[in-house]
Amino acid sequence: MRRESPTRRRNPSGKVVWLARYSGRDGKRRIAKPTWNRGKGTFDRKADAQRAIDEAYGLSDRPDTLGAYFETWTERHPRSERTNATNEHRIGRLVDVEVEGIPLEDWPMRELRRRHALVLVEHMLRTEGRATTGAVGIMRALSAMAEDAITDEVCDLNPFRGVRIRASDPRAQKKRRPIRVFSFEEMHRFAKAAGRYEALVRTFTDTGMRLGEVLPLRPGDFDGETLQVRRTAHEGQILEGTKTDHGEEGAGRVVPVPATLGWMLEAQINLNGSDQELIFTTPRGLMWRERTFYRDVWKPTQEASRLDIRPHECRHSFVTHLRAEGVNDADLAEIAGHRVETMLARYTHAVGESFSKVRGVIG
Pairing of strands 102-103, 98-99: antiparallel
Please report whether residue 360 resides in a domain. no
37 and 105 share one domain: no
Cβ neighbours for 31, distance < 8 A, ≥ 6 positions apart: 19, 20, 21, 22, 41
104 pLDDT exceeds 50?
Answer: yes
Please report whether residue 361 resides in a domain. no
DSSP 264-301: HHHHHHHHH-TT-SSSS--TTSPPPPHHHHIIIIIHHH
339 pLDDT exceeds 90?
Answer: no
Report yes or no: 179 and 316 within 8 Å, Cβ to Cβ: yes
Element holding 242 (H helix, E strand): strand 242-243
Q: Give me the sign of the Cα torsion angle 191, 247, 345, 132.
A: negative
Q: Residue 284: count other Cβ atoms within 10 Å of its Cβ.
A: 5
Q: What does the pLDDT look like over 134-151, one tens digit per residue?
A: 999 999 999 999 999 999
Report yes or no: 48 and 38 within 8 Å, Cβ to Cβ: no
165 pLDDT exceeds 70?
Answer: yes
As a residue count, the chain comes to 363
The pLDDT of 49-58, averaged and rounded, is 79
End of a domain among 133, 151, 169?
151
308: left (phi over 0), alpha (psi -120 to 50) or beta: beta
How confident is the model at residue 356, as a pLDDT? 63
How confident is the model at residue 265, as a pLDDT? 96
120 and 195 share one domain: no
How confident is the model at residue 62, as a pLDDT? 61
Eight-state DSSP code of residue 139 = H
110 and 216 share one domain: no
How confident is the model at residue 108, as a pLDDT? 87
Please report whether residue 232 resides in a domain. yes
End of a domain among 18, 38, 57?
57
Please report whether residue 241 resides in a domain. yes
249 and 339 share one domain: yes
How confident is the model at residue 178, as a pLDDT? 77
The pLDDT of 163-191, averaged and rounded, is 88
How confident is the model at residue 139, as a pLDDT? 96
Please report whether residue 159 resides in a domain. no
How confident is the model at residue 247, as a pLDDT? 43
197 and 217 share one domain: yes
92 pLDDT exceeds 70?
Answer: yes
How confident is the model at residue 191, as a pLDDT? 97
pLDDT band at residue 161 under the 50/70/90 scheme: very high
Q: Which domain holds residue 70?
A: 66-151
137 and 212 share one domain: no
How confident is the model at residue 37, as a pLDDT? 87
Cβ neighbours for 14, distance < 8 A, ≥ 6 positions apart: none
What is the chain's mean pLDDT, rounded?
Answer: 86
Report yes or no: 236 and 289 within 8 Å, Cβ to Cβ: yes
51 and 111 share one domain: no
188 and 278 share one domain: yes
Maximum distance among all alpha carbons in the chain?
89
Please report whether residue 171 resides in a domain. no
Eight-state DSSP code of residue 225 = S
Which of 38-42, 62-66, 173-177, 260-264 has the least mean pLDDT?
Answer: 173-177
CA–CA separation, 296 vs 59, rounded Å? Answer: 52
How confident is the model at residue 88, as a pLDDT? 93
How confident is the model at residue 8, as a pLDDT? 92
Burial bucket for residue 37 (CB in 10 Å: 0-12, 13-18, 19+): middle
Considering only CA atoms, which of 329, 332, 297 is closest in space to residue 315? 332
Please report whether residue 357 resides in a domain. no
CATH of the domain at 240: 1.10.443.10
Considering only CA atoms, which of 203, 218, 199, 225 is closest in space to residue 275? 218
How confident is the model at residue 127, as a pLDDT? 92
CA–CA separation, 318 vs 337, rounded Å? Answer: 13
End of a domain among 151, 174, 204?
151
How confident is the model at residue 248, as a pLDDT? 43
How confident is the model at residue 211, as a pLDDT? 93
Name the percent of the chain lying above pLDDT 70.
88
How confident is the model at residue 30, as a pLDDT? 86
217 and 284 share one domain: yes
Helices (H), the chain: 46-57, 66-76, 81-92, 114-122, 132-151, 184-192, 198-207, 211-214, 259-272, 290-293, 299-305, 311-324, 329-336, 340-346, 355-362
Report yes or no: 290 and 211 within 8 Å, Cβ to Cβ: yes
Please report whether residue 34 resides in a domain. yes
273 and 319 share one domain: yes
Cβ neighbours for 2, distance < 8 A, ≥ 6 positions apart: none
Query: In total, how many domains does the chain have?
Result: 3
Residue 106 main-chain phi, psi, to 5 deg: -95, -5
203 and 119 share one domain: no
Residue 196 main-chain phi, psi, to 5 deg: -60, -20
Considering only CA atoms, which of 139, 159, 149, 144 is closest in space to residue 69? 149
131 and 217 share one domain: no
How confident is the model at residue 1, as a pLDDT? 46
CA angle at residue 136 from 130 to 142, to 5 degrees? 110
How confident is the model at residue 362, as a pLDDT? 59
How confident is the model at residue 363, as a pLDDT? 46
How confident is the model at residue 18, as a pLDDT? 93
Q: How far is CA 339 from CA 82, 132, 160, 199, 335, in A?
A: 19, 23, 26, 28, 10
